Chain A
Amino acid sequence: MSLDTADVRPRSQANTGTSRPPSQRRRTRQRRNQPYPGWFYAPAATIYGILFVVPTFASFYFAFTRWSFVETEFIGFDNFITFFSEPRLSRGFVNTFIYAVVTSGAKVAIGLALAILLTSGIFARGYLRAVVFFPVLVSTIGVGITFKILMDPFDGLINKALAVVGIQGPGWLTDPSLALLSVAAVDVWKGVGLATLIYIAGIVAIPSEYYEAARVDGASAWSTFRNITLPLVRPATVTVVILSLIGGLRTFDLIWAMTGGGPGFASDVIASTIYKQYAAGFYGLSTAGNVVLFLVVTAVVLPLYIFMNRKSKEL
């Protein structure tokens, strides 16, 4: 964050010696904070605390219970054992990782490629940017239903188009080994516009002197990309990876609209099993799923956040 004067002042005071006793220092800080009262936090903190923080902490208790809202029975790790031993639940655990890795990898690769294309002198840039970005704003459910119909194995537009060129298209959403990846592809279609925009912002921020120097040195397009663009868009890559991992690990809407976790439970993810268990009345099990999702997201995103931020500072 910003290092404005007032942020620096107390530190320099502390360095110059002990001329002021701590009580007095506290008083100056109080005076300086007076126009920015702490109660400004209160309304936001009340809503956030009651509807987000309390339930999050409560989930760590209820995950260990058999729970019907009326009564709770402590059953230890049973819910977690069920979660990982029943294939219809543990499949969702594995799928969540596959989905998150595939979508964020594709968003990084395609987003970067599109951003390079759209920052070059290409014709009709404005139109292309608008078209690539628009799906980001469209309802996920609407996109899901549309693609569900486009991906229909017999009547769908995609397979009809493939049939014209003589390819028999697969059952995108009906083939158990393909359903999850088809949904992931639609996720990329919908979300790549945001990744592209973030990359465009990153590329535009690279000083053009670097490219001029590279041209003077006679660098090829590939080595310019490899040695200038790629390292210098690192902050954008960090953002894209973290955002799409958070989104991918928590994904629910698109899966629910397109396959409902099916066929069978081939495309279930943790978020959709949470909903299914909740709808079936297994509140404790559903909450255990939530705790698992919490742990997965934190375990993946937090180290990445720290690691990638440290790396970008070294540059």
Chain B
Amino acid sequence: MKAARTRNLIGGIIAIAVSVVVFLIPFAFIVLTAFKTQQESALLEFSWPTEFAFFDNLVTVLQTRDYTVVRAFINSAIVTVASVGIMVVLAAMVGWVLQRRQSRWNGFINFLVLAGLIVPPAVVPTIFVMQQLGIFRSIPGLILIEVAFGMSFCILLFRAFAASIPRELDEAALIDGAGPLRLFFQVAFPLLRSVIVTVIVVQSVTVFNDFANPLYFAPGAENVTVQLTLYNFQSQFYTSWNLLFTDILLITIPPLIMYIFFNRQIVAGMTSGAIKG
């Protein structure tokens, strides 16, 4: 027993040492470089900054190109909130009805949902369709794209969770005279709360971190999102690593906050959703 405990302790210490080298040093490198002055950051050394310039770096990054980072954060916030909000309501409706309703279409609908997870979106035809609708190069267009591409994952989670809500509750509500809308929004929706939180957290991180969709479907300076600023700064800050890493640090903070507060929901969502998929 004692031998096992010593072994666990030694193994733990080795594992911690390895994890520090493999996982923490890259993050520490980001933070340290973001704190340095330009001359010092140019050396690309893993060292303690001799002079702390984080505040100056932050101001410079925010002001670059006429406050493009600030605009990007606003845009990303709008896209994330709006698309996740729409996704949750619409996907919950589909997941709920798909689990409850009996119909010969269910197989086909399940197939479409699964296809949404597997099939890569057809880029240029999507742009063409968006142009015809007049929503290409616009924030509303990007929101709808995120909804369309993220919906399948949400539906799978909602459908699985709806199965755990007893039908007796539906029947009780129906006997009390509730219509379909009341049944869904006042009985089912509140009961889906835990899975709603999971979906919101996981999809917020996904949409916030999305790079390819804004790149394709919302080009243009006024539509810029945070991931695109990072990509564009790569060439602009080619010699100012301190500024580039300040931007990386800024963009890493929102997911970090999500992770600290919603650790459990993120883990539950990513693993259960994955297994159901």
Task: Report if B241 contacts A (CB, 8 A).
Answer: yes
Query: Per-residue CB proximity of A102-121 to B under 8 Å, as 1/0?
Result: 00000000000000010011
Task: Tell me if A136 and B227 are in contact (CB < 8 A).
Answer: no
Task: Tell me if B121 and A137 are in contact (CB < 8 A).
Answer: no
Q: Please give the number of chain A residues whose Cβ is less than 8 angstroms from any Cβ of chain B in the complex.
A: 99
Q: For B33, give the chain A residue with the smallest CB separation.
A: A149
Query: Per-residue CB proximity of B205-219 to A under 8 Å, as 1/0?
Result: 100110110011000
Task: Report if B221 contacts A (CB, 8 A).
Answer: no
Q: Smallest distance from the beta carbon of A152 to chain B beta carbons, Å? A: 7
With beta carbons under 8 angstroms apart, the residue of B126, B180, B211 that contacts A51 is B126
Q: For A32, give the chain B residue with the smallest CB separation.
A: B102
Which residues in chain A, 249-282, are within 8 Å of chain B measured between CB atoms? 249-250, 252-253, 256-257, 271, 274-275, 278
Task: Tell me if A301 and B4 are in contact (CB < 8 A).
Answer: no
- A160 CA to B45 CA, complexed, in Å: 9
- A99 CA to B274 CA, complexed, in Å: 21
- A236 CA to B44 CA, complexed, in Å: 40
Query: Per-residue CB proximity of A291-305 to B under 8 Å, as 1/0?
Result: 101100110011000
Q: Is the interface of A mostly helix, strand, loop or mixed?
A: helix
With a CB–CB cut-off of 8 A, which chain B residues contact A256? 211, 231
Q: For A43, give the chain B residue with the smallest CB separation.
A: B90
- A69 CA to B277 CA, complexed, in Å: 36
Q: For B117, give the chain A residue with the smallest CB separation.
A: A246
Q: Which of B8, B43, B125, B252 has the most CB of A within 10 A?
A: B125
Q: Contacts A132-B19, A157-B46, A290-B120; is A29 near B163 (CB within 8 Å)?
A: no
Q: Contacts A141-B227, A142-B251; is A62 near B13 (CB within 8 Å)?
A: no
Q: Smallest distance from the beta carbon of A244 to chain B beta carbons, Å? A: 10
Task: Report if B239 contacts A (CB, 8 A).
Answer: no
With beta carbons under 8 angstroms apart, the residue of A123, A140, A236, A274 that contacts B209 is A140
Task: Tell me if B119 and A56 are in contact (CB < 8 A).
Answer: yes
- A9 CA to B222 CA, complexed, in Å: 57
* A/B interface sample: 13 pairs, CB < 8 A: A36-B180, A45-B94, A47-B148, A55-B125, A62-B125, A136-B270, A138-B209, A140-B211, A194-B274, A249-B120, A278-B124, A291-B122, A294-B119
16 more A-B residue pairs beyond the given contacts A55-B121, A139-B208, A278-B123, with a C-beta to C-beta distance below 8 A? A4-B167, A7-B102, A36-B97, A40-B180, A40-B184, A44-B91, A48-B151, A55-B126, A55-B129, A62-B125, A117-B11, A138-B252, A142-B30, A152-B44, A256-B231, A301-B118
